[in-house]
């Protein structure tokens, strides 16, 4: 099955299988069963079996999956072996943090440049990635054929930045601004809503304090 034929809920579960498999000790058992994976991740066994069957034909009755092969199949399926180049807009604290974060390479993401409306931020960040003024964005995205844009500007500026990215060829937007973005068909927005997470956590805590 091709990745684009898989449902979004299934797709969202695959990285957790991968993360768990990679967290197991190197010198542990070579095989793992869908039953063991389901138990470890607190998920239904039938669901785990179905999900894994979509990405790997390596499962064998009573033996399970060869762990290393299943990791390779998941990484291949999720495109972690191919590098996706992305630009980031908004070189404030959060933006520079993402720019300098080395961990994305593991998922095949390479943030090749950052842009900011504040020209005084232009130069290089500490990891050596370039930061440019916004006027450089259109030519950069078009020439490098960049397909992913990361938005780390304030909520009020996010829709305008999103429109500019799409006008210059971006097809997938990773949005860290706490606001809904309107996009035309064919463009995917994935929002990382930290404010939502914090609200859920805070409300849980206030219930604890009262309780």
Residues that bind its own copies (CB under 8 A): 2-4, 6, 8, 11-12, 14-16, 18-20, 22-23, 40-42, 78-80, 82, 84, 93-94, 96-98, 100-104, 107-109, 147-148, 155-156, 171-172, 174, 178-180, 182, 186, 188, 190, 192-211
Nearest distance from residue 150's CB to its own copies, in Å?
10
Q: What is the 3-state secondary structure (H, E, C) of the chain?
A: CCHHHCCHHHHHHHHHHHHHHHHCCCCCCCEECHHHHHHHHCCCHHHHHHHHHHHCCCCECCCEEEHHHHHHHHHHHCCCCCCEEEEEECCCHHHHHHHHCHHHHHHCEEEEEEEECCHHHCEECCCCCEEEEHHHHHHHHHHHCCCEEEECCCHHHHHHHHHHHHHCCCCEEEECCCCCCCCCCCCEEEECCHHHHHHHHHHHHHHHHHC
Comparing CB distances to its own copies, the nearer of 2 and 62 is 2
Comparing CB distances to its own copies, the nearer of 58 and 108 is 108
Nearest distance from residue 168's CB to its own copies, in Å?
15
Nearest distance from residue 58's CB to its own copies, in Å?
20
Nearest distance from residue 59's CB to its own copies, in Å?
21
Comparing CB distances to its own copies, the nearer of 102 and 123 is 102
């Amino acid at each position: 099955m091709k990745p684009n034929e898989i449902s979004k809920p299934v797709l969202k579960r695959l990285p957790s299988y991968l993360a768990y498999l990679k967290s197991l000790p190197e010198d542990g058992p070579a095989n793992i069963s869908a039953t063991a994976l389901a138990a470890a991740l607190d998920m239904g066994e039938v669901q785990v079996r179905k999900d894994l069957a979509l990405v790997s034909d390596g499962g064998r009755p009573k033996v399970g999956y060869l762990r290393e092969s299943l990791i390779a199949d998941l990484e291949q399926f999720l495109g972690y072996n191919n590098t996706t180049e992305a630009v980031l807009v908004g070189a404030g604290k959060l933006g520079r943090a993402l720019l300098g974060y080395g961990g994305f390479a593991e998922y095949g993401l390479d943030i090749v440049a950052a842009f900011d409306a504040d020209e005084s931020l232009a130069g290089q960040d500490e990891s050596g990635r370039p930061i440019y003024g916004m006027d450089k964005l259109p030519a950069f995205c078009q020439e490098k054929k960049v397909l992913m844009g990361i938005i780390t500007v304030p909520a009020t500026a996010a829709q305008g930045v999103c429109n500019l990215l799409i006008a210059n060829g971006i097809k997938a937007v990773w949005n860290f601004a706490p606001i809904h973005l309107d996009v035309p068909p064919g463009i995917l927005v994935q929002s990382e809503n930290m404010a939502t997470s914090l609200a859920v956590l805070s409300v849980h805590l206030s219930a604890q304090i009262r309780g």
